[in-house]
Amino acid sequence: MTTIASDIAIDSWRDRSRQWLHSVASDFARPARAGLAVEADLALGRRYLAARYDAGFAGINWPQDYGGQGLSHLHKLVFEEEEMALGMPSGYFGISLGMPVPILMRHGQDRAFVKERVTRALRGEEIWCQLFSEPAGGSDLAGLRTRAEVDGNGWRMNGQKLWTSWAQYCDYGVIVVRTDPTVPKHKGLTYFWVDMKAPGVTVRPIKLAGGDSHVNEVFFDDVRLEDSQRMSPVGGGFGVAMTTLMIERYIATDSGGFGPHLDLFVQTARDTDYNGRPAILDGRVRSAIARNHAMRAGLDAITTRAMRMMQAGMEPGPEGSLNKLVAVRSRQRLSELALDLMGPAGLAFDAHAHAKEDWAASWINAPTGRIAGGADEMLLNTIAERILGLPQDHRPDKGVPFNQIPG
Amino acid sequence: MTTIASDIAIDSWRDRSRQWLHSVASDFARPARAGLAVEADLALGRRYLAARYDAGFAGINWPQDYGGQGLSHLHKLVFEEEEMALGMPSGYFGISLGMPVPILMRHGQDRAFVKERVTRALRGEEIWCQLFSEPAGGSDLAGLRTRAEVDGNGWRMNGQKLWTSWAQYCDYGVIVVRTDPTVPKHKGLTYFWVDMKAPGVTVRPIKLAGGDSHVNEVFFDDVRLEDSQRMSPVGGGFGVAMTTLMIERYIATDSGGFGPHLDLFVQTARDTDYNGRPAILDGRVRSAIARNHAMRAGLDAITTRAMRMMQAGMEPGPEGSLNKLVAVRSRQRLSELALDLMGPAGLAFDAHAHAKEDWAASWINAPTGRIAGGADEMLLNTIAERILGLPQDHRPDKGVPFNQIPG
Amino acid sequence: MSILHDEGQVAIATQSRRVLDARVSKDRLLGLIEPVGRYDTVFWDTAIEQGWTALAIPEAHGGLGLGLIELGLVAQATGAATAGAPFLTQGYGAVRALVDGADADLAAAWLPRLATGEAIATVALAEGNAVLPPQPVVSYADGRLTGVKPAVTGGLAADCAVVWAMGAQGPVLALAELGEVGRTPVHSFDNSRLYADLAFAATPARVLAQGAAARNLAHDMLARMAVVTAHEQVGGAEALLFIARDYALTRKAFGQPIGAFQSVKHRIAELYGLVEIARANAIHAAACEGTADFALAAADARISATDAYDTAARDCVQIHGGIGVTWDAGLHLHMRRARSLAIEQGNLLFWEDYLVDHLVGEAA
Amino acid sequence: MSILHDEGQVAIATQSRRVLDARVSKDRLLGLIEPVGRYDTVFWDTAIEQGWTALAIPEAHGGLGLGLIELGLVAQATGAATAGAPFLTQGYGAVRALVDGADADLAAAWLPRLATGEAIATVALAEGNAVLPPQPVVSYADGRLTGVKPAVTGGLAADCAVVWAMGAQGPVLALAELGEVGRTPVHSFDNSRLYADLAFAATPARVLAQGAAARNLAHDMLARMAVVTAHEQVGGAEALLFIARDYALTRKAFGQPIGAFQSVKHRIAELYGLVEIARANAIHAAACEGTADFALAAADARISATDAYDTAARDCVQIHGGIGVTWDAGLHLHMRRARSLAIEQGNLLFWEDYLVDHLVGEAA
């Protein structure tokens, strides 16, 4: 990203980051992780986060009195870029430090408690998850059914959440529940944090199409919540949840759609023969490379510009929301084409391969990417409504009290 | 179409048709029409229809006592296939004989009058148009505003119609008007025929994007309609109109999307050099040819099967409705690619070229094809609702009296 | 030819669907995805019991003497059921080679056993990315085959294979028993396809055809297998179309069935178009068996069916949202099968080129 | 480099849009489609008055000494207005050739007149379908050009042209006055582009560069013109995006604005994506002027902009329904311009190959 390199301060920051990362690469980077089962890899990840904390690269854009570095969002992005390049085992903590913990910092009531949680989360000692989606909910956040009723000076929670990433390894979670079923859908929600080890909490991993099980069903059976665990006004949970989702959408940016880099496709196309000559000489393959290159370059330019604007203290444009929609969808097609080109070799499958480095893994997991964190159709609606001001879809449930909506 | 050729009766019919068509080709076929202005071409067309009538090829699947031949729909399709191959000037009468006149035969009250009209229409002496769409209507037939009020023993009509093909050359038309604005939209419509030369009728041609003007605005200013001109029960016009549209959708079938035959694209790709070798050797071009060939072959197979079923006295499946949707959309892209391949030569434009024989003409007129006779989106809705049983779109105007719908 | 099915054909279609609906279990199929070397014996026993193995084998050799149309109808049913064994298409290819190329005793030795399902046959033409390499590396000399054929479909279980190999006077098609052949399993995303690298080491084999005759026979086998595969793909795509339609009718979001949203509704309508076009091509191709149009019709069918199945898998999962990407929902059975069928015996690029070559008369 | 525009650049963008909104008349443009040889003098006078002709010319030669970023912003405005004269992009290509290749007196003879708009320049590189033929048919010898350059943009009105021709020691770039040159108009679907076949018959010309230098300069001209064209295409696509959005908000069907139907709504959202990606690429490319990334960035910009404009034309018309295909509605002004810009100076296939060649380091 030449534009960043042109910035001296950032430039030296990138050097420092790279320097440290390479100094610990032998212990933590991609080669060290090869073939590790999830549990072992997670343990390695915890050690990595501790080391990162001690080295002063944790909570880069968080206030110092929470153990952060007090630097800019841009500094954070630069470090993560270098981190991702080496394939450090930080993925397990991405959601935890990305959404729930910042929300806790902002809305947690007991500051001493908050401070301890934040530190432990930064050191990888504790992990937080985000409990939003539900079986009936799908993309419809306001349709949540999990409920909490007043119980003495606190609350009693019952219900079920779905698609909770890494819940099986989590110590705490943030959750949105219905505290008033008698008001219209999004008005009756409240935001809490919950102890995942508390009695009545059951976590059941869900195996995904690709074969892995990093998402979970979570059941709540008369789980006790203190009112001090509340992080929004009663009935004001929807707003807090939306900010979380916005953060999420903004953090998730990879013009490769979290699949392989285009260089890998070019390599595949050069190494594979088709009709007795390298496949890269075929017009269909060249077109796919060119179109994807142009698309990714555009998304990268959008991200770069957003960074420059943040640097200049400006608000980046809304076009950032395009990234996931466009990139993941294209990754799916490109992965299919790569498998086609590989021919018989494309039939092989390695269950431990990473989606960013293997076409079959990228292809089989692509549909999850198109749905997680906002399905394509939802993103298109968001763009159409929030950016272009087009009308909302017809919604029969609008303004109807939740308990009067036909199941 | 080998399947038809395999049928003896049809086979000999095809020979007879071809024989006659070639016997008059020198007077009427494509070469004879080259460079003719619309009026001259239309005059030629009228002479052709008279000849066709005298030769016993008019109204092929119509009852004999209306001057038809009393043969099957399949016989008709076979003849038209041969006719189209030679480029006979029958296009001006396609709508007239395709929709309005059959409706007149079925629903006209004064049989003597009907019989005379049918004969003259078959001989090309009179042309009928179809007055459905309106400025406010678009794809929404039930939203028509043109109204007819009871006036003594007849009706008085006022309003405006739009997109009426060949109206400037028409003697009569069939029309759907609102006779009761106090009932829900589609319930207040009635179906009439109208004399296009009657006082109060004004026809104004509309120039289209491609430069031609075969469609018109038609204004009705206190036009008198006798009740004998009514062709549906009062308030029962919607049903009759829908049958007309169904006929239309069924008649309109050309896997080339009414653009050039794929052979012309293959020719273009062979004659054009790209990167110093024939463009047909480029994978992108080959892919376009193969995909379009497969798509058209599928549509042709669907049509062929429908014909075989009709022959066997069976009801063809609903998949016929795919033809226009898929074919015209693909024609648009293929035409663009052809222009791209031609390079500088692709920039040239001949205002008199036919869309079926020229890429620029095909490209510039393709959008009209995607909208006329049911826009893509409407066809998709029809397929989804009528064939797959998916729910209708939300329609706020449903069940609301027409005069209470906010403009 | 006729593209309208007669009563017998309609019966085959309904019966094959009915029996598979009754006997194929999604959970059993899910259990076959990850382990290597296993296939759905219940399905295969059914295929034998129903006479599908005998369908396209001449009556003289204990078969039913039926053709591509009937086999296609069965393949459509097996495609809808994501059948857990790959032998039907491969077996048909081998049978055609035996019928057209084998001498009486060889045909008599194998065809009856293939008809009863005692023996399983496959086809090994491709090497690397070449579907039919002009100069195959696997060599034939003195009645023996030597060399490796990669990722042969059904290779882990087949008893014999029709092999495309290089002989002294150019390429040959030879039949080899696989008893002594080295089989290296290929761990795949669709393991019930039983892919194996077959290593021939001076393996005894009988020549079925050589030179031009071998090439023509191989091309005919490819086109015929393509038509069967196309039917299988159509069956899978149609099944996904119905799954998507039914889900869109029942699943609610924002207070209405998701099928009321045009993004879902039109996606399903477009799927319908892809499926019907592919189906029409497949039926047409089967009906063209033996005519001059066959090669072109086979390519039309294969191209539109591959596109339809891949697209249906992509879209049906997307329409399901989160539930669609779970292991247990099993939509990935179709997703995986759509890919494996797309790659086996020639990817889209191969069939596009095959079509254009035939169209402009530069056929190999 | 910077991809954030400074105040001066923002001013250029706003001012150029404002003045064109005020002075460009759709009816006048519609009147230019069918007749051959006419262009929008009001627009061109405006371009001169606004100093757009001087924008990229060195101050030493009476220009403003600005670069691709500024010219790109103007081009975006002219694209939005479907400007009725093609001289800006062509002129810029010629200016670059003169700046890089011409000796002092030749530069001094032409650049000031191009800056003031007294003279109009164009570029004639292509022959047949070759954007930059390795062996051009048009020949250069003894200071004279001979041969025909087909469908040269602006060829009917230009005073001089930079011509790609074959000299004794390989290809050359030469500047020729067009006074005596035979011009055959090409009747086009976008006639204000002023296409003409230019027939050189021993036409006096001055060499700007030869051999490798000529090839490099020609490639640089192509990439630079591609970036300007990309900005023009982005402007057009964005204009269509807004037209579609506004229509979807006002036009009603079935009792609600058509923008409430997802088929329309999502189509417009997808357009937004294409436009923003193309815009980002165009801005990035302009900012890369003179860097090693320039060629690749130019191809990225040209490819995404061509796709965005063609798609926007297709979809915006479709969203409008019947009214969209009328002559008077004028959407076909964009439809036509999207096609003419897609074809001029290299179609999508050319730029795709250009990109891949540079990416894998096989650049010509």
3-state SS of chain C? Answer: CCCCCCHHHHHHHHHHHHHHHHHCCHHHHHHCCCCCCCCCHHHHHHHHHCCCCCCCCCHHHCCCCCCHHHHHHHHHHHHHCCCCCCHHHHHHHHHHHHHHHCCHHHHHHHHHHHHHCCCCEEEECCECCECCCCCCCCEEECCEEEEEEEEECCCCCCCEEEEEEEECCEEEEEEEECCCCEEEECCECCHHHCCEEEEEEEEEEEEEEEHHHHHHHHHHHHHHHHHHHHHHHHHHHHHHHHHHHHHHHHCEECCEEHHHCHHHHHHHHHHHHHHHHHHHHHHHHHHCCCCCCHHHHHHHHHHHHHHHHHHHHHHHHHHHHHHHHECCCCHHHHHHHHHHHHHCCCCHHHHHHHHHHHHCCCCC
Tell if the CB–CB gap between D299 and A308 is shorter than 8 Å: no
The pLDDT tens digits for D192-247 are: 999 999 999 999 999 999 999 999 999 999 999 999 999 999 999 999 999 999 99
Residue-level pLDDT at A196: 97
| Phi, psi (deg, nearest 5) at residue A128 | -110, 145
Tell if the CB–CB gap between C303 and B290 is shorter than 8 Å: yes
Cα D92 to Cα A266, D168, D183: the distances in Å are 34, 28, 22
- A-chain CB neighbours of B287 within 8 Å are 283-284
Residue-level pLDDT at B400: 56
| Phi, psi (deg, nearest 5) at residue B74 | -65, -45
Q: Establish if A406 touches chain B: CB-CB under 8 angstroms.
A: no
Considering Cα of D134, then D140, then D146, then D148, what sign does the dihedral take? positive
- Nearest Cβ partner for B340 among D193, D318, D342: D342
**Which carries the bigger pLDDT value, residue C169 or residue A72?**
C169
Residue-level pLDDT at A359: 96
**Which carries the bigger pLDDT value, residue A374 or residue C223?**
C223
- Let me know: does C122 contact C154? Beta carbons within 8 Å: yes
The pLDDT tens digits for B305-325 are: 877 776 676 767 777 778 889
The pLDDT tens digits for A285-340 are: 999 999 999 999 999 999 888 777 766 767 677 777 788 899 999 999 999 999 99
- A-chain CB neighbours of D306 within 8 Å are none
Cα A375 to Cα A327, A398, B136, C263, C320: the distances in Å are 13, 21, 35, 12, 10
- Nearest Cβ partner for D187 among B348, B370, B377: B348
Q: Establish if A266 touches chain D: CB-CB under 8 angstroms.
A: yes
Q: Which residue of D has its CA nearest to B393?
A: D261
Q: What is the residue-averaged pLDDT of chain B?
A: 87
Q: Establish if A291 touches chain B: CB-CB under 8 angstroms.
A: no
Tell if the CB–CB gap between B287 and A282 is shorter than 8 Å: no
Residue range A133-157: mean pLDDT, rounded: 82
- D-chain CB neighbours of A283 within 8 Å are 349, 352-353
**Which carries the bigger pLDDT value, residue B174 or residue C364?**
B174
Q: What is the residue-averaged pLDDT of chain C?
A: 95
3-state class (DSSP) for residue A242: helix
pLDDT at B241 over 50: yes
Residue range A377-403: mean pLDDT, rounded: 80
The pLDDT tens digits for A262-279 are: 999 999 999 999 988 999
Q: How confident is the model at residue D364 (pLDDT cuts 50, 70, 90)?
A: very low
Residue-level pLDDT at B6: 43
* Listed range (A137-141, B48-52, D21-25, D278-282) with the worst mean pLDDT: A137-141
pLDDT at B1 over 90: no
Q: Which residue of D has its CA nearest to A267?
A: D360
Residue D151: both structure tokens together: 């469908």
Cα A224 to Cα A154, A164, A227, B321: the distances in Å are 7, 20, 10, 59
Residue-level pLDDT at B4: 39
Tell if the CB–CB gap between B284 and A285 is shorter than 8 Å: no
Residue range D134-146: mean pLDDT, rounded: 97
Residues 6+ apart with CB under 8 A from D54: D62, D63, D64, D115, D116
3-state class (DSSP) for residue D176: strand
Total beta-carbon pairs less than 8 A apart between chain A and chain C: 135
Residue-level pLDDT at C216: 96
* Listed range (A296-310, C8-22, C77-91, D297-311) with the worst mean pLDDT: A296-310
Residue B302: both structure tokens together: 């669907």
Sequence length of chain B is 407
Q: What is the residue-averaged pLDDT of chain A?
A: 87
Q: Which of B341, B347, B381, B395 to mutate to test the interface with D (most CBs of D within 10 A)?
A: B347
Tell if the CB–CB gap between A371 and C321 is shorter than 8 Å: yes
Nearest to B93 by CA among B56, B119, B127: B127
Tell if the CB–CB gap between B211 and D34 is shorter than 8 Å: yes
Start-to-end CA distance of chain C, whole Å, equals: 27
Q: Which of C78-93 are b and which e, b meaning 16 or more Cβ less than 10 Å from the residue's Cβ?
A: bbbbbbbbbbbbbbbb
Residue range D133-150: mean pLDDT, rounded: 97
Q: How confident is the model at residue A3 (pLDDT cuts 50, 70, 90)?
A: very low
Residue-level pLDDT at B74: 79
* A396 Cα to chain B: minimum distance (Å): 9
Residue range D100-120: mean pLDDT, rounded: 95
- D-chain CB neighbours of B325 within 8 Å are none
Q: Which of C198, C252, C334 to mutate to test the interface with A (most CBs of A within 10 A)?
A: C252
Q: Token match 């696509």: residue? A: D237
Residue range B268-291: mean pLDDT, rounded: 94
**Which carries the bigger pLDDT value, residue A2 or residue C320?**
C320
Q: How confident is the model at residue B8 (pLDDT cuts 50, 70, 90)?
A: low
pLDDT at B250 over 60: no
Q: How confident is the model at residue B99 (pLDDT cuts 50, 70, 90)?
A: confident
* C344 Cα to chain A: minimum distance (Å): 7
Residue range D247-266: mean pLDDT, rounded: 91
3-state class (DSSP) for residue D175: strand
Nearest to A212 by CA among C244, C191, C332, C36: C332
Residue-level pLDDT at B401: 60
Percent of chain A beyond pLDDT 70? Answer: 90
Tell if the CB–CB gap between B298 and C280 is shorter than 8 Å: yes
Q: Establish if A283 touches chain B: CB-CB under 8 angstroms.
A: yes
Residue-level pLDDT at A400: 57
* B261 Cα to chain C: minimum distance (Å): 14
Residue range B39-44: mean pLDDT, rounded: 94
Q: How confident is the model at residue A244 (pLDDT cuts 50, 70, 90)?
A: low
Q: How confident is the model at residue A204 (pLDDT cuts 50, 70, 90)?
A: very high
Residue A50: both structure tokens together: 């501790």
Please name the chains neighbouring C, where neighbouring means 3+ C-beta pairs under 8 angstroms: A, B, D
Residue-level pLDDT at B5: 38
| Chain C residues bordering chain B (beta-carbon distance below 8 Å) | 1-4, 245, 248-249, 256-257, 259-260, 262, 265-266, 268-270, 272-273, 276-278, 280-281, 283-284, 291, 293, 296-297, 299-301, 303-304, 307, 349, 351-353, 355-356, 359-360
Tell if the CB–CB gap between D263 and C261 is shorter than 8 Å: no
Q: Which residue of D has its CA nearest to B377?
A: D263
Tell if the CB–CB gap between D189 and B360 is shorter than 8 Å: yes
Tell if the CB–CB gap between B319 and C359 is shorter than 8 Å: no
